[in-house]
Amino acid sequence: MASISSSPRTVEEIFKDYSGRRTGIVRALTYDVEDFYGLCDPEKENLCLYGHPEENWEVTLPAEEVPPELPEPALGINFARDGMNRRDWLSLVAVHSDCWLLSVAFYLGARLNRNERKRLFSLINELPTVFEVVTERKPVKDKPSADSGSKSRGSTKRSSDGLVKSNPKLADENYEEDENEHSETLCGSCGGNYNADEFWIGCDICEKWFHGKCVKITPAKAESIKQYKCPSCSMKRGRQ
């Protein structure tokens, strides 16, 4: 079972734990996909896909302990296996796995301070999501290579409130550099500078960023938006 016998506590330790679990899950859904598919027999009980810090994976029953030692992955992934297109099913498992990986990382990082949490997000954002790898939106890598931290524009980034938005730039590993890099980003509505203390939302069409207050979007409202279109992009689409 997904054990945390020596609980990681620093940002680096938690990120290493996250990376190992993610690598295991990516391997299950790509390189070892035939084995993974075969283990997810719909005739069996509720099964979960676990990624372990040692970069391996396991399909097994949920933890018997209540409450479990860690947040649990999605239950019963095997039940939908034969009722969906195989690629769609693997993509669904990938999405659930991304959610689980984040849950575990921030469960382990419950005692981190605000800046440490942001730095952990920054490190996590350096890596493609499991969903991006499985759907081939990002290249598959067996293990993160030495240059996996290279920066690129237009990469998917989870903001510190857990949303997934297109970010004009990936954050650097160092939080201070992250602040400097974001300071170049201007609000597409008022032209004001980025401020980490304010809620921002990114348009998925034009990739511009906006103060939430400028476009009348609150963090709570943003959580229910699957694809955000800024007022300008919404008007353009309306004219077509």
| pLDDT for res 33 | 94
Q: How many CB atoms lie within 10 A of CB 123?
A: 21
Burial (CB count <10 Å: 0-12, 13-18, 19+), residue 153 = exposed
Domain count, the chain: 2
3-class SS at 165? strand
Q: Are residues 192 and 124 both part of a single domain?
A: no
Distance CA(154)–CA(188), nearest Å, equals 16
- Report the pLDDT value the prediction gives residue 184, as an integer from 0 to 100: 60
Q: What is the pLDDT, as a whole number, of residue 85?
A: 92
Q: How far is the C-alpha of 219 from the C-alpha of 240, rounded, in Å?
A: 30
Which amino acid is residue 38, in one-letter code?
G
In whole angstroms, what is the distance from residue 197 CA to residue 171 CA?
16
Return the residue matching tokens 């103060």: 211
Residue 238, helix vs strand vs coil: helix
Q: Chain-centre distance of CA 51, in angstroms?
A: 15
- With a cut of 50, list the residues of the chain below it in pLDDT: 1-5, 140-181, 240
CA distance 127 to 155: 10
Residue from 92, 128, 111 nearest 19 by CA? 128
CATH, residue 220? 3.30.40.10
- pLDDT at site 230: 86
Residues 115 and 173 in one domain: no
Residues 75 and 109 in one domain: yes
18, 127: one domain: yes
Within a domain: 63: yes
> What predicted TM-score, i.e. pTM, was given to this entire model?
0.56
Instruction: Give the closest residue to 57 by CA, choosing from 25, 95, 99, 89.
Output: 25
CA angle 178, 16, 91 (to 5 degrees): 85
Question: What is the Cα–Cα distance from 94 to 127, expressed in whole angstroms?
Answer: 14
Pair (83, 166) in one structural domain: no
Domain membership flag for residue 1:
no
Contact by Cβ (8 Å): 228, 202: yes
- 125 and 33 inside one domain: yes
Within 8 A by CB and 6+ apart from 234, the residues are: none
Ranges assigned E (strand) in 104-204? 156-158, 164-166, 200-202
The verdict on 77 and 120 lying in the same domain is yes
Same domain, 114 and 196: no
pLDDT of residue 107: 92
Question: Phi and psi for 94 in degrees, rounded to 5?
Answer: -65, -45
Same domain, yes or no: 72 and 176: no
From the CB of residue 93, how many other CB atoms can be counted at a distance below 10 Å?
25
Q: Could you give the CA distance from residue 125 to residue 95 in angstroms, rounded to a whole number?
A: 15
**Spatial separation of the C-alpha atoms in residues 128 and 137, rounded to whole Å:** 9
Determine the pLDDT at residue 8. Answer: 65
Residue range of the domain that includes 69: 11-134
**163's tokens:** 């949303």
- The answer to whether position 236 is within a domain reads no
